[in-house]
Amino acid sequence: MAYADRPLPFNQKKRLIVVQAGAVLAAALLLFTRPAWNDEFLSHDFVELTGAGLVLLCILGRLWSTLYIGGRKNDELVTTGPFSVTRNPLYVSSTIGAVGIGLMFGSLIVALLLGIATYQIFRVTAAREAAFLAGRFGPAYEAYAKATPIFWPDPGRYHDTAAVSFSPLALKRTFLDGLYFLAIFPVIELVEQLQASGHLPVLMSIY
pLDDT in tens, 25-59: 666 667 777 776 655 556 777 888 899 999 999 99
Q: Residue 91 burial by CB count (10 A; 0-12/13-18/19+): exposed, middle or buried? A: buried
Instruction: Count how many domains the chain has.
Output: 1
Question: HSE-up of 154 (CA within 13 Å, CB side)?
Answer: 12
Beta-carbon contacts of residue 127 (< 8 Å; ≥ 6 apart): 150
* pLDDT value for 137: 93
Rounded percentage of the chain residues whose pLDDT exceeds 70: 81
- For residue range 135-162, list pLDDT tens digits in order: 999 999 999 999 999 999 999 999 998 7
In a domain, 23, yes or no: no
pLDDT tens, position by position, 167-198: 788 888 888 877 777 777 788 778 878 887 88
- pLDDT at position 2 is 41
Question: 138 is in which domain, residue-wise?
Answer: 43-206
φ, ψ of residue 53 to 5 degrees: the values are -65, -40
Position 20 in a domain: no
Kindly report the CATH number assigned to the domain that includes residue 180. 1.20.120
- Higher local confidence (pLDDT), 32 or 95: 95
Whether 14 is covered by a domain: the verdict is no
Query: In this structure, which amino acid lies at residue 37?
Result: W
Q: Are 184 and 111 in contact (CB under 8 A)?
A: no
Identify whether 110 is part of a domain.
Answer: yes
Q: Determine, yes or no, domain membership for 17.
A: no
196 is a domain residue: yes
